[in-house]
Amino acid sequence: MKPSRLTRRRMIQGSAGIAATTGLAATTGLAASAGRIADAPAPTATLAASAATAPSPPTDAAPRPKFRAAVLRLPIEIPITAAALEATRRRNADAMLAAIDAAMRGPGEKPKVLVFPVLSYTSSRRAVSGVPMSTVAVDLVSEPLDKSIFAPVVEACRRHDIYVATSTQEKVPALPGVYFHTGFVMGPKGLVLRSPKSQAQSAPEVSYLRDLAKDYVRIFGPDSILPVADTPVGRIACYVEAEAQVLEASRLFASKGAEMILHTSLEEDEVPWVALKQAIGFQCHVFLLTGTTSRFVRADRPEPEWAGGSSTIVGPDGHVLAQKAGRDEGAAIAGIDLNEIAKAKKKYGRNTVPAWWLYSDLYKPR
């Protein structure tokens, strides 16, 4: 039966990118499921506070926040032996804090959101140290972050009233022997959300949500895969590295009402990253904030290994608002006006919002 005009209009409004301005019905319970186990009290006061409430729909009478954000392009030290791990993590943590302080001391309005490169404490080359994943993996679920190795960063979030994104190797007590590579966001109250990799390539010991989806949802609840959280600076999501290469992940975030995707990453020059990130911003009408590693430093080698790509801020119209690339290190800062999302949707949505029922066969087994 051919859908009626009213039915078709409702179907369009329910598709990716429109939910953020038409009701956000899909976001119920998202913030609560982002960091704690389903049907159980939050294991810590920190998690309970950060889980907050589900996002509420914006109205024409309620303008969205405006602020500045920073994406970092920074070097990171690789732990070269198991004995060097703790000292290396401390130095990397100190470098992270120094970058936050530098951004806060800069001219103009202080940024409210900062996105750091992937694995800011251990680097993506941790395996060269011979340290097993079980040693470096952090429990983000049952331990408050201010009691973990990330306590100094949480304190900086409180001191400056900011939100910081990066990633870590993660262990989950409810899934013994399973390790994730997890993007997560810290704020003044601790953990805001955590978002393990769904399918993008990672270290051999890392598990993917695509293979554990049923168990993961059973433990953490509906919408816990690729969650969105409501914060004073808007509705935020987070993913890691090549998760951005799967457009469906970004569209899912947009359908859940995300206004900013915080992308903690390491990039290779052979991937057309800037074009890809601009397409995400434009097609999903979100702000995409990417922080990347600039170079790897080792205590046993005089010369660093430079990484590719760039740290970028892309707006909801697909334009690059700020960028640090190549051997240019530090913070790229831009103004974020979340009201621009509605303007981009109004201007381009007729073309960019998919009529999802036409494409549903893409996801049927063949």
Residue 195 has pLDDT above 70, yes or no: yes
Share of the chain above pLDDT 90, in %: 70
What's the pLDDT at 110?
97
Which range among 12-16, 105-109, 130-134, 160-164 shows the weakest confidence by mean pLDDT? 12-16
Which pLDDT tens digit goes with each residue over 20-59? 333 333 333 333 334 444 444 343 333 333 333 334 444 4
Question: Which of 44-67 are b and which e, b meaning 16 or more Cβ less than 10 Å from the residue's Cβ?
Answer: bebbbbbbbebbeebeeeeebeeb
Share of the chain above pLDDT 70, in %: 83
What six digits make up the tokens of 189?
Answer: 């109250």
What's the pLDDT at 340?
97
Angle at 152 between CA 149 and CA 155, to 5 degrees: 130
Which pLDDT tens digit goes with each residue over 219-271? 999 999 999 999 999 999 999 999 999 999 999 999 999 999 999 999 999 99
If pLDDT is split at 50, 70 and 90, which confidence band does 140 have? very high
Q: Once rounded to an integer, what is the mean pLDDT over residues 63-84?
A: 94
Domain boundaries, the chain: 26-359
What's the pLDDT at 167?
97
Angstrom CA distances, 327 to 73, 94, 115, 292, stand at 9, 21, 18, 12
Q: Which CATH number fits domain 26-359: 1.10.630.10, 3.60.110.10, 3.30.460.80, 3.90.76.10?
A: 3.60.110.10
HEC assignment per residue over 37-56: CCCCCCCCHHHHHHHCCCCC
Q: Cα–chain-centroid distance for residue 18?
A: 20
Neighbours of 300 (CB within 10 A): 8
Beta bridge partners of 333: 70
What's the pLDDT at 131?
81
If pLDDT is split at 50, 70 and 90, which confidence band does 281 have? very high
Q: What is the mean pLDDT of the chain?
A: 85
| Identity at 279, one-letter amino acid code | A
If pLDDT is split at 50, 70 and 90, which confidence band does 113 have? very high
Closest residue by Cα to residue 210 from 224, 195, 225, 221: 225
| Identity at 286, one-letter amino acid code | V
What's the pLDDT at 159?
97
Rounded CA-CA distance 182/168 in Å is 5
What's the pLDDT at 92?
96
What six digits make up the tokens of 227?
Answer: 């969650």
Q: Once rounded to an integer, what is the mean pLDDT over residues 92-97?
A: 97
Residue 325 has pLDDT above 70, yes or no: yes
Query: Would you give the DSSP letter of residue 138?
Result: B
CA 186, 191, 193, 199: dihedral to nearest 10 degrees?
80
Residue 194 has pLDDT above 90, yes or no: yes
63 Cβ neighbours under 8 A, 6+ residues apart: 339
